[in-house]
Each structure stands twice: as C-alpha cells, then as structure tokens.
Amino acid sequence: DTGVSQDPRHKITKRGQNVTFRCDPISEHNRLYWYRQTLGQGPEFLTYFQNEAQLEKSRLLSDRFSAERPKGSFSTLEIQRTEQGDSAMYLCASSLGQGTGNTNEQFFGPGTRLTVL
C-alpha cells in the first residue's frame, strides 16, 4: 500500500509566476486536505474535499489560490501570481470521512516545498 504522494517535492519560482502542485491520496480515502507550513510553525489548514466536493476553504486561501479534485481521486493546488510570502511547505493529507468508519486520522504526504524568489 502506498501512502500519500505529492509532486513536485521542491519548486523554485520567480515572483509573479503560476505554480501547480499535485497530491495523490491513499486510494480508499474519500477526504483530501491541503495545509501550509512555514518554518517553525505548525501546519495551517487551507481547504478540504470530500470526494470531488470542496467543502471548506480557509480565509488563508486568497483568490490567487485554487484547488480541485475533479474525479474524487488526485487533487491539484494552483497558486497564481506567486508572492514571496507564499514560500512554504504545502502539505497534502487524506483520511476516511464519515460514514466509512470511525477512523479519521489524517495521513500526510511528504510535502512540496515552494520557494518564491
């Protein structure tokens, strides 16, 4: 069984460019989450999906951020017109949601480290 995978692992971009990250969750998991972690801080919630529906978005998710999970499997997170403040580790996690059991611990991927120059 493979865990959560993320691609790319590292991304360096220039300010103003667009970037897209991909997350592949654990195959039987119906919930998928995106978090952002900056140095010395705990992860902060960005958004989550149950199947293909985006159920919640944090106020941290500005208009420049968009996430999709078109077929309820993998997800993409796009950041448009990147800013230096977007530099962070972007973490994806997946879990089994309500109705599929009593476990809702989230399993995390290795993250995508974004550096905006």
Q: Which one among 23, 91, 114, 116 touches other proteins, defined by CB under 8 A?
A: 91
| Residue 45 is a binding residue for other proteins (CB under 8 A) | yes
| Residue 36 is a binding residue for other proteins (CB under 8 A) | no
| Residue 56 is a binding residue for other proteins (CB under 8 A) | yes
| Residue 72 is a binding residue for other proteins (CB under 8 A) | no
| Residue 18 is a binding residue for other proteins (CB under 8 A) | no
- Using CB under 8 A as the binding criterion, the count of chain residues that bind other proteins stands at 28
- Name which of 23, 35, 113, 111 is nearest 70 in CA terms: 23
Residues at the contact surface with other proteins, assessed by CB under 8 A: 31, 33, 35, 40-45, 48, 55-56, 58, 89, 91, 93, 95, 97-98, 103-111
